[in-house]
Structure 1
Amino acid sequence: MNKIFTIISVCFITMACKETPKEVVINESKIAFNQALVDELKKMVETDQVAAYIPQGKHKELSEEDWNTFKDSVFTTHEKRLQDIFNKNGFVGYDLAGEEGSKNFWLMVQHCDHNPDFQNKVLEKMKIEVGNKNAKPSNYGLLVDRVNLNTGKAQVYGTQVTYNFNTGQAYPKTLEDSINVNKRRKSIGLEPLEVYLNEMTKMHFRMNKEGYLKEKGIIEPKLYATN
Protein backbone atom coordinates (compact mmCIF):
# COMPACT_ATOMS: atom_id res chain seq x y z
CA MET A 1 0.00 0.00 0.00
CA ASN A 2 2.72 2.36 -1.18
CA LYS A 3 0.64 5.46 -1.63
CA ILE A 4 -1.42 5.32 1.51
CA PHE A 5 -0.03 7.24 4.43
CA THR A 6 -1.25 7.00 7.99
CA ILE A 7 -2.12 10.24 9.69
CA ILE A 8 -1.11 10.29 13.28
CA SER A 9 -3.04 12.75 15.08
CA VAL A 10 -2.05 15.45 16.23
CA CYS A 11 -3.13 14.40 16.48
CA PHE A 12 -2.70 13.64 19.85
CA ILE A 13 -1.70 10.85 28.44
CA THR A 14 -0.80 10.69 31.84
CA MET A 15 0.24 7.94 34.16
CA ALA A 16 -3.14 7.60 35.80
CA CYS A 17 -5.20 10.65 34.93
CA LYS A 18 -8.82 10.00 33.94
CA GLU A 19 -10.53 13.35 34.58
CA THR A 20 -9.95 17.03 34.06
CA PRO A 21 -6.86 17.99 36.05
CA LYS A 22 -7.77 19.71 39.30
CA GLU A 23 -4.36 20.47 40.75
CA VAL A 24 -4.00 24.21 41.24
CA VAL A 25 -0.82 25.99 42.25
CA ILE A 26 -1.09 29.70 42.93
CA ASN A 27 1.89 31.59 41.56
CA GLU A 28 2.35 34.85 43.39
CA SER A 29 4.90 36.24 40.92
CA LYS A 30 3.52 37.69 37.68
CA ILE A 31 4.89 36.10 34.52
CA ALA A 32 6.04 38.59 31.92
CA PHE A 33 4.73 38.01 28.41
CA ASN A 34 7.62 37.04 26.11
CA GLN A 35 7.05 38.14 22.51
CA ALA A 36 10.48 36.92 21.42
CA LEU A 37 9.58 33.43 22.61
CA VAL A 38 6.24 33.61 20.80
CA ASP A 39 8.02 34.51 17.57
CA GLU A 40 10.59 31.76 18.01
CA LEU A 41 7.97 29.10 18.66
CA LYS A 42 5.97 30.24 15.65
CA LYS A 43 8.99 29.91 13.39
CA MET A 44 9.87 26.49 14.83
CA VAL A 45 6.36 25.14 14.39
CA GLU A 46 6.33 26.03 10.70
CA THR A 47 9.17 23.57 10.15
CA ASP A 48 7.61 21.11 12.58
CA GLN A 49 4.43 20.98 10.52
CA VAL A 50 6.36 20.29 7.33
CA ALA A 51 7.98 17.29 9.01
CA ALA A 52 4.74 16.11 10.64
CA TYR A 53 2.82 16.07 7.34
CA ILE A 54 3.26 13.91 4.25
CA PRO A 55 6.06 15.08 1.89
CA GLN A 56 5.13 18.22 -0.03
CA GLY A 57 6.93 20.41 -2.57
CA LYS A 58 10.65 19.75 -2.82
CA HIS A 59 10.38 17.06 -0.15
CA LYS A 60 8.32 14.87 -2.49
CA GLU A 61 11.54 14.19 -4.38
CA LEU A 62 13.23 12.66 -1.32
CA SER A 63 13.60 8.93 -0.91
CA GLU A 64 11.77 7.37 2.03
CA GLU A 65 15.08 7.07 3.88
CA ASP A 66 16.00 10.73 3.27
CA TRP A 67 12.51 11.89 4.26
CA ASN A 68 12.70 9.97 7.54
CA THR A 69 16.16 11.42 8.18
CA PHE A 70 14.78 14.91 7.62
CA LYS A 71 11.85 14.33 10.01
CA ASP A 72 14.06 12.87 12.72
CA SER A 73 16.45 15.80 12.40
CA VAL A 74 13.65 18.34 12.79
CA PHE A 75 12.09 16.65 15.82
CA THR A 76 15.34 15.97 17.66
CA THR A 77 16.73 19.44 16.98
CA HIS A 78 13.52 21.05 18.18
CA GLU A 79 13.46 18.88 21.28
CA LYS A 80 16.79 20.28 22.44
CA ARG A 81 15.45 23.82 22.25
CA LEU A 82 12.13 22.83 23.82
CA GLN A 83 13.99 21.31 26.75
CA ASP A 84 15.91 24.57 27.25
CA ILE A 85 12.64 26.51 27.23
CA PHE A 86 10.99 24.03 29.59
CA ASN A 87 13.90 24.00 32.04
CA LYS A 88 13.71 27.79 32.27
CA ASN A 89 9.93 28.31 32.23
CA GLY A 90 8.17 25.03 32.90
CA PHE A 91 5.17 24.49 30.63
CA VAL A 92 4.66 27.48 28.36
CA GLY A 93 1.29 28.85 29.40
CA TYR A 94 -0.96 31.65 28.17
CA ASP A 95 0.63 34.19 30.51
CA LEU A 96 4.09 33.67 29.04
CA ALA A 97 3.30 33.23 25.34
CA GLY A 98 -0.44 33.62 24.75
CA GLU A 99 -2.73 30.91 23.41
CA GLU A 100 -0.82 30.57 20.14
CA GLY A 101 2.60 30.30 21.76
CA SER A 102 1.32 27.82 24.35
CA LYS A 103 -0.27 25.71 21.61
CA ASN A 104 2.90 25.76 19.49
CA PHE A 105 5.04 24.63 22.42
CA TRP A 106 2.60 21.82 23.24
CA LEU A 107 2.31 20.75 19.61
CA MET A 108 6.05 20.28 19.19
CA VAL A 109 6.27 18.36 22.47
CA GLN A 110 3.64 16.04 20.97
CA HIS A 111 6.19 15.17 18.30
CA CYS A 112 8.97 14.28 20.76
CA ASP A 113 7.87 10.64 20.72
CA HIS A 114 11.50 9.54 20.74
CA ASN A 115 11.74 10.92 24.30
CA PRO A 116 8.60 10.02 26.31
CA ASP A 117 10.39 10.89 29.56
CA PHE A 118 10.58 14.51 28.42
CA GLN A 119 6.97 14.41 27.23
CA ASN A 120 5.89 13.16 30.65
CA LYS A 121 7.81 15.88 32.48
CA VAL A 122 6.02 18.47 30.35
CA LEU A 123 2.71 16.72 30.99
CA GLU A 124 3.12 16.97 34.76
CA LYS A 125 3.71 20.73 34.58
CA MET A 126 0.95 21.18 31.99
CA LYS A 127 -1.50 19.56 34.41
CA ILE A 128 -0.79 22.32 36.93
CA GLU A 129 -1.24 25.05 34.31
CA VAL A 130 -4.54 23.55 33.17
CA GLY A 131 -5.69 23.65 36.79
CA ASN A 132 -4.69 27.32 36.85
CA LYS A 133 -6.60 27.94 33.59
CA ASN A 134 -3.29 28.78 31.97
CA ALA A 135 -3.30 25.96 29.39
CA LYS A 136 -5.90 24.23 27.23
CA PRO A 137 -7.52 21.10 28.79
CA SER A 138 -8.19 19.39 25.45
CA ASN A 139 -4.54 19.74 24.43
CA TYR A 140 -3.62 18.24 27.79
CA GLY A 141 -5.80 15.24 26.93
CA LEU A 142 -4.00 14.70 23.64
CA LEU A 143 -0.65 14.70 25.42
CA VAL A 144 -2.03 12.33 28.07
CA ASP A 145 -2.87 9.82 25.35
CA ARG A 146 0.43 10.33 23.57
CA VAL A 147 2.49 9.69 26.69
CA ASN A 148 0.42 6.68 27.68
CA LEU A 149 0.90 4.98 24.33
CA ASN A 150 4.59 5.86 24.27
CA THR A 151 5.04 4.23 27.68
CA GLY A 152 3.05 1.06 26.99
CA LYS A 153 -0.26 2.11 28.55
CA ALA A 154 -3.76 2.43 27.12
CA GLN A 155 -4.93 5.89 26.15
CA VAL A 156 -7.64 7.66 28.12
CA TYR A 157 -9.38 9.93 25.63
CA GLY A 158 -8.99 8.06 22.32
CA THR A 159 -7.21 10.89 20.52
CA GLN A 160 -4.49 8.78 18.90
CA VAL A 161 -5.76 6.82 15.93
CA THR A 162 -4.81 4.40 13.21
CA TYR A 163 -6.72 3.28 10.11
CA ASN A 164 -8.44 0.30 8.54
CA PHE A 165 -6.91 0.44 5.09
CA ASN A 166 -9.68 -1.69 3.60
CA THR A 167 -12.31 0.92 4.47
CA GLY A 168 -10.32 4.09 5.18
CA GLN A 169 -12.00 4.30 8.61
CA ALA A 170 -10.11 5.67 11.61
CA TYR A 171 -10.22 3.87 14.92
CA PRO A 172 -8.49 4.57 18.25
CA LYS A 173 -5.31 2.84 19.27
CA THR A 174 -5.42 0.86 22.54
CA LEU A 175 -8.09 2.50 24.69
CA GLU A 176 -9.18 1.83 28.25
CA ASP A 177 -12.83 1.75 29.34
CA SER A 178 -14.22 2.61 25.91
CA ILE A 179 -17.81 2.65 27.23
CA ASN A 180 -17.14 5.81 29.23
CA VAL A 181 -14.69 7.50 26.88
CA ASN A 182 -17.14 10.20 25.78
CA LYS A 183 -17.72 11.24 29.40
CA ARG A 184 -13.99 11.69 29.82
CA ARG A 185 -13.70 13.54 26.52
CA LYS A 186 -16.53 15.91 27.46
CA SER A 187 -14.80 16.70 30.77
CA ILE A 188 -11.88 18.30 28.90
CA GLY A 189 -13.86 19.91 26.10
CA LEU A 190 -13.50 17.28 23.38
CA GLU A 191 -16.27 16.30 20.99
CA PRO A 192 -17.74 12.74 21.07
CA LEU A 193 -15.29 10.12 19.88
CA GLU A 194 -17.42 9.13 16.88
CA VAL A 195 -17.43 12.71 15.59
CA TYR A 196 -13.67 12.99 16.05
CA LEU A 197 -13.01 9.67 14.32
CA ASN A 198 -15.16 10.70 11.37
CA GLU A 199 -13.19 13.93 10.99
CA MET A 200 -9.90 12.02 11.12
CA THR A 201 -11.29 9.50 8.60
CA LYS A 202 -12.32 12.20 6.12
CA MET A 203 -9.00 14.02 6.45
CA HIS A 204 -7.03 10.81 5.96
CA PHE A 205 -9.12 9.85 2.94
CA ARG A 206 -8.67 13.26 1.28
CA MET A 207 -4.91 12.99 1.65
CA ASN A 208 -4.81 9.44 0.29
CA LYS A 209 -7.75 9.45 -2.13
CA GLU A 210 -5.67 8.56 -5.16
CA GLY A 211 -4.23 5.50 -3.44
CA TYR A 212 -7.60 4.27 -2.19
CA LEU A 213 -9.17 4.67 -5.64
CA LYS A 214 -6.33 2.98 -7.47
CA GLU A 215 -5.48 0.18 -5.05
CA LYS A 216 -8.82 -0.49 -3.33
CA GLY A 217 -11.46 1.00 -5.61
CA ILE A 218 -12.83 2.94 -2.63
CA ILE A 219 -14.58 6.19 -3.60
CA GLU A 220 -15.50 7.25 -0.05
CA PRO A 221 -14.51 6.13 3.45
CA LYS A 222 -16.72 4.33 5.94
CA LEU A 223 -17.98 6.58 8.74
CA TYR A 224 -19.40 5.97 12.22
CA ALA A 225 -23.01 6.66 13.09
CA THR A 226 -23.44 9.78 15.23
CA ASN A 227 -26.37 11.09 17.25
Structure 2
Amino acid sequence: MRIKIITALVFVLFVGCKVEKENPITKEYNQQLVNELASMFQIDQVAAGIPSGKYKELSEDEWKSFKDSVFDVNYEKAAEIFNKYGFVGFDLVGKEGSRNFWLIVQHLDSKPEFQEAVLEKMKIEIERNNASPQNYAYLLDRVELNRGKKQVYGTQVKYNWKMCQAYPKPLVDSVNVNKRRKELGLEPLEDYLNELSIMHFEMNKKAFLQVNITKPKLYTKEN
Protein backbone atom coordinates (compact mmCIF):
# COMPACT_ATOMS: atom_id res chain seq x y z
CA MET A 1 0.00 0.00 0.00
CA ARG A 2 2.83 2.38 0.85
CA ILE A 3 4.50 1.72 -2.50
CA LYS A 4 1.26 2.51 -4.33
CA ILE A 5 0.87 5.80 -2.47
CA ILE A 6 4.44 6.86 -3.22
CA THR A 7 3.96 5.92 -6.89
CA ALA A 8 0.78 7.97 -7.07
CA LEU A 9 2.53 10.99 -5.55
CA VAL A 10 5.37 10.71 -8.04
CA PHE A 11 2.83 10.55 -10.89
CA VAL A 12 1.02 13.64 -9.63
CA LEU A 13 4.28 15.56 -9.34
CA PHE A 14 5.28 14.47 -12.84
CA VAL A 15 1.99 15.57 -14.36
CA GLY A 16 2.17 18.86 -12.48
CA CYS A 17 5.65 19.54 -13.83
CA LYS A 18 4.53 18.70 -17.36
CA VAL A 19 1.61 21.13 -17.24
CA GLU A 20 3.83 23.83 -15.77
CA LYS A 21 6.29 23.36 -18.63
CA GLU A 22 3.57 23.71 -21.27
CA ASN A 23 1.98 26.72 -19.58
CA PRO A 24 4.52 28.56 -17.43
CA ILE A 25 2.33 31.66 -17.07
CA THR A 26 -0.20 31.56 -14.24
CA LYS A 27 -3.33 33.03 -15.76
CA GLU A 28 -5.70 35.09 -13.66
CA TYR A 29 -9.02 36.62 -14.71
CA ASN A 30 -8.28 39.82 -16.61
CA GLN A 31 -11.21 42.26 -16.77
CA GLN A 32 -9.27 44.77 -18.85
CA LEU A 33 -8.65 42.12 -21.49
CA VAL A 34 -12.31 41.10 -21.33
CA ASN A 35 -13.30 44.69 -22.12
CA GLU A 36 -10.78 44.95 -24.95
CA LEU A 37 -12.02 41.74 -26.57
CA ALA A 38 -15.63 42.90 -26.26
CA SER A 39 -14.74 46.09 -28.12
CA MET A 40 -12.88 44.15 -30.81
CA PHE A 41 -15.80 41.75 -31.13
CA GLN A 42 -18.30 44.55 -31.69
CA ILE A 43 -16.44 46.08 -34.62
CA ASP A 44 -15.64 42.61 -35.99
CA GLN A 45 -19.36 41.84 -36.17
CA VAL A 46 -19.97 45.01 -38.14
CA ALA A 47 -17.23 44.19 -40.65
CA ALA A 48 -18.20 40.53 -40.95
CA GLY A 49 -21.87 41.29 -41.59
CA ILE A 50 -23.96 43.04 -44.21
CA PRO A 51 -23.65 46.85 -44.40
CA SER A 52 -26.32 48.46 -42.24
CA GLY A 53 -27.03 51.86 -40.73
CA LYS A 54 -24.47 54.47 -41.71
CA TYR A 55 -22.40 51.82 -43.49
CA LYS A 56 -25.10 51.44 -46.16
CA GLU A 57 -23.98 54.80 -47.52
CA LEU A 58 -20.50 53.46 -48.34
CA SER A 59 -19.60 52.48 -51.89
CA GLU A 60 -18.45 48.92 -52.56
CA ASP A 61 -14.80 50.01 -52.53
CA GLU A 62 -15.29 52.04 -49.36
CA TRP A 63 -16.97 49.11 -47.62
CA LYS A 64 -14.13 46.77 -48.62
CA SER A 65 -11.58 49.28 -47.39
CA PHE A 66 -13.43 49.56 -44.07
CA LYS A 67 -13.58 45.78 -43.64
CA ASP A 68 -9.90 45.33 -44.46
CA SER A 69 -8.99 48.04 -41.98
CA VAL A 70 -11.06 46.43 -39.19
CA PHE A 71 -9.58 42.98 -39.75
CA ASP A 72 -6.03 44.36 -39.98
CA VAL A 73 -6.36 46.26 -36.70
CA ASN A 74 -8.01 43.28 -34.99
CA TYR A 75 -5.24 41.02 -36.25
CA GLU A 76 -2.54 43.25 -34.76
CA LYS A 77 -4.32 43.30 -31.41
CA ALA A 78 -5.16 39.59 -31.46
CA ALA A 79 -1.58 38.66 -32.35
CA GLU A 80 -0.28 40.74 -29.45
CA ILE A 81 -2.72 39.05 -27.07
CA PHE A 82 -1.86 35.60 -28.43
CA ASN A 83 1.88 36.17 -28.13
CA LYS A 84 1.41 37.10 -24.48
CA TYR A 85 -1.18 34.56 -23.36
CA GLY A 86 -1.48 31.85 -26.00
CA PHE A 87 -5.08 30.90 -26.70
CA VAL A 88 -7.31 32.99 -24.45
CA GLY A 89 -9.23 30.50 -22.32
CA PHE A 90 -12.05 30.56 -19.77
CA ASP A 91 -9.70 31.08 -16.84
CA LEU A 92 -8.37 34.35 -18.24
CA VAL A 93 -11.47 36.02 -19.71
CA GLY A 94 -14.47 33.78 -19.04
CA LYS A 95 -16.51 31.93 -21.65
CA GLU A 96 -17.74 35.06 -23.43
CA GLY A 97 -14.30 36.61 -23.64
CA SER A 98 -12.81 33.37 -24.94
CA ARG A 99 -15.58 33.14 -27.54
CA ASN A 100 -14.90 36.73 -28.62
CA PHE A 101 -11.21 36.00 -29.15
CA TRP A 102 -11.99 32.82 -31.09
CA LEU A 103 -14.50 34.56 -33.35
CA ILE A 104 -12.09 37.37 -34.15
CA VAL A 105 -9.51 34.76 -35.21
CA GLN A 106 -12.20 32.85 -37.12
CA HIS A 107 -12.69 35.85 -39.39
CA LEU A 108 -8.98 36.38 -40.13
CA ASP A 109 -8.89 34.25 -43.27
CA SER A 110 -6.26 36.58 -44.72
CA LYS A 111 -3.93 35.39 -41.95
CA PRO A 112 -4.02 31.57 -42.30
CA GLU A 113 -0.70 31.03 -40.51
CA PHE A 114 -2.03 32.90 -37.50
CA GLN A 115 -5.24 30.86 -37.52
CA GLU A 116 -3.18 27.66 -37.56
CA ALA A 117 -1.02 28.81 -34.65
CA VAL A 118 -4.09 29.70 -32.59
CA LEU A 119 -5.73 26.37 -33.44
CA GLU A 120 -2.70 24.49 -32.13
CA LYS A 121 -2.76 26.32 -28.79
CA MET A 122 -6.55 26.10 -28.60
CA LYS A 123 -6.31 22.31 -28.73
CA ILE A 124 -4.17 22.36 -25.58
CA GLU A 125 -6.81 24.42 -23.77
CA ILE A 126 -9.55 22.05 -24.98
CA GLU A 127 -7.70 19.18 -23.28
CA ARG A 128 -7.73 21.27 -20.08
CA ASN A 129 -11.46 22.00 -20.39
CA ASN A 130 -10.46 25.64 -20.72
CA ALA A 131 -11.96 26.34 -24.17
CA SER A 132 -15.01 25.39 -26.23
CA PRO A 133 -14.77 22.13 -28.25
CA GLN A 134 -17.56 23.39 -30.50
CA ASN A 135 -15.64 26.55 -31.36
CA TYR A 136 -12.55 24.42 -31.99
CA ALA A 137 -14.50 22.49 -34.63
CA TYR A 138 -15.41 25.71 -36.44
CA LEU A 139 -11.83 26.96 -36.47
CA LEU A 140 -10.43 23.59 -37.52
CA ASP A 141 -12.81 23.47 -40.49
CA ARG A 142 -11.84 27.02 -41.44
CA VAL A 143 -8.15 26.19 -41.27
CA GLU A 144 -8.51 22.98 -43.27
CA LEU A 145 -10.41 24.74 -46.05
CA ASN A 146 -7.86 27.54 -46.12
CA ARG A 147 -5.19 24.86 -46.54
CA GLY A 148 -7.04 23.56 -49.60
CA LYS A 149 -8.20 20.46 -47.72
CA LYS A 150 -11.68 19.15 -46.85
CA GLN A 151 -13.34 20.18 -43.61
CA VAL A 152 -13.96 17.70 -40.79
CA TYR A 153 -17.17 18.80 -39.07
CA GLY A 154 -19.18 20.52 -41.82
CA THR A 155 -19.41 23.88 -40.07
CA GLN A 156 -18.54 25.93 -43.16
CA VAL A 157 -21.32 26.18 -45.71
CA LYS A 158 -22.54 27.61 -48.99
CA TYR A 159 -26.13 28.33 -50.09
CA ASN A 160 -28.18 27.09 -53.01
CA TRP A 161 -30.14 30.22 -53.89
CA LYS A 162 -32.46 28.35 -56.25
CA MET A 163 -34.11 26.55 -53.33
CA CYS A 164 -32.78 28.41 -50.28
CA GLN A 165 -30.81 25.53 -48.81
CA ALA A 166 -27.48 25.51 -46.98
CA TYR A 167 -24.99 22.79 -47.85
CA PRO A 168 -21.50 22.06 -46.51
CA LYS A 169 -18.32 22.99 -48.30
CA PRO A 170 -16.11 19.98 -49.24
CA LEU A 171 -16.31 17.47 -46.39
CA VAL A 172 -14.14 14.48 -45.57
CA ASP A 173 -15.86 11.16 -44.75
CA SER A 174 -19.41 12.57 -44.82
CA VAL A 175 -20.88 9.22 -43.72
CA ASN A 176 -19.39 9.58 -40.24
CA VAL A 177 -19.65 13.35 -39.87
CA ASN A 178 -22.46 13.20 -37.30
CA LYS A 179 -20.44 10.81 -35.17
CA ARG A 180 -17.56 13.29 -35.16
CA ARG A 181 -19.90 16.20 -34.45
CA LYS A 182 -21.50 14.37 -31.52
CA GLU A 183 -18.09 13.79 -29.95
CA LEU A 184 -17.63 17.57 -29.68
CA GLY A 185 -21.18 18.29 -28.58
CA LEU A 186 -22.45 19.55 -31.94
CA GLU A 187 -25.97 18.89 -33.21
CA PRO A 188 -26.49 16.58 -36.24
CA LEU A 189 -25.36 18.19 -39.48
CA GLU A 190 -28.88 18.11 -40.93
CA ASP A 191 -30.23 20.14 -38.01
CA TYR A 192 -27.38 22.63 -38.30
CA LEU A 193 -27.92 23.10 -42.03
CA ASN A 194 -31.66 23.51 -41.52
CA GLU A 195 -31.08 26.24 -38.93
CA LEU A 196 -28.85 28.10 -41.36
CA SER A 197 -31.31 27.64 -44.22
CA ILE A 198 -34.13 29.12 -42.14
CA MET A 199 -31.94 32.03 -41.08
CA HIS A 200 -30.86 32.60 -44.68
CA PHE A 201 -34.49 32.67 -45.81
CA GLU A 202 -35.51 35.17 -43.15
CA MET A 203 -32.57 37.46 -43.92
CA ASN A 204 -33.37 37.43 -47.65
CA LYS A 205 -37.12 36.85 -47.52
CA LYS A 206 -38.06 39.70 -49.84
CA ALA A 207 -35.72 38.48 -52.57
CA PHE A 208 -36.92 34.88 -52.27
CA LEU A 209 -40.60 35.82 -52.38
CA GLN A 210 -39.99 37.75 -55.58
CA VAL A 211 -38.96 34.47 -57.26
CA ASN A 212 -41.80 32.47 -55.63
CA ILE A 213 -39.69 30.75 -52.99
CA THR A 214 -41.92 30.83 -49.93
CA LYS A 215 -39.87 28.70 -47.57
CA PRO A 216 -36.39 27.16 -47.30
CA LYS A 217 -35.66 23.63 -48.48
CA LEU A 218 -34.94 21.56 -45.36
CA TYR A 219 -33.14 18.28 -44.94
CA THR A 220 -34.75 15.15 -43.49
CA LYS A 221 -32.98 12.27 -41.79
CA GLU A 222 -33.28 10.28 -45.02
CA ASN A 223 -31.16 12.89 -46.88
Give the structure-2-normalised TM-score. 0.88
Partner of 2:213: 218
CA-based RMSD of the aligned residues comes to: 1.3
Partner of 1:3: none
Q: Matches of 2:55 and 2:144 in 1, distance apart?
A: 31
One-letter amino acid of the structure 1 residue matched with residue 214 of structure 2: I
One-letter amino acid of the structure 1 residue matched with residue 19 of structure 2: I
Partner of 2:149: 153
Q: Matches of 2:123 and 2:88 in 1, distance apart?
A: 12
> What SS does the corresponding residue of 1:224 show, helix, strand or coil?
coil
Partner of 1:53: 49
Written as runs of structure 1 = structure 2, the 5 A alignment for 1:94-113 is 94-113=90-109
> What SS does the corresponding residue of 1:26 show, helix, strand or coil?
helix
Partner of 2:4: none
Written as runs of structure 1 = structure 2, the 5 A alignment for 1:78-157 is 78-157=74-153
Partner of 2:12: none
Q: Matches of 1:168 and 1:67 in 2, distance apart?
A: 26
The alpha carbon displacement at 1:30 in A equals: 3.4
Q: Matches of 2:52 and 2:159 in 1, distance apart?
A: 22
The alpha carbon displacement at 1:29 in A equals: 5.6
> What SS does the corresponding residue of 1:128 show, helix, strand or coil?
helix
Provide runs of 4+ in structure 1 moved above 2 Å.
25-30
Q: Which runs of 5+ in 1 are unaligned?
A: 1-24
The alpha carbon displacement at 1:68 in A equals: 1.6
Q: RCO (CA 8 Å, sep 6+): is it higher in 1 or 2?
A: 1
Which of these residues, 204, 209, 221, is aligned with residue 208 of structure 1? 204
1:128-167 deviation per Cα after TM superposition (whole angstroms, max 9, x unaligned): 0000000000000000000001110100000000000100
1:82-109 deviation per Cα after TM superposition (whole angstroms, max 9, x unaligned): 0000000000001111101100000000
Partner of 2:188: 192
Q: Which runs of 5+ in 2 are unaligned?
A: 1-17
**Greater helix share, structure number:** 2
1:162-206 deviation per Cα after TM superposition (whole angstroms, max 9, x unaligned): 000100100000100000000000011100000000001111111
Q: Matches of 1:46 and 1:191 in 2, distance apart?
A: 27
One-letter amino acid of the structure 2 residue matched with residue 129 of structure 1: E
One-letter amino acid of the structure 2 residue matched with residue 36 of structure 1: Q
Query: Could you tell me the percent identity over the aligned residues?
Result: 59
> What SS does the corresponding residue of 2:167 show, helix, strand or coil?
strand
One-letter amino acid of the structure 2 residue matched with residue 222 of structure 1: K
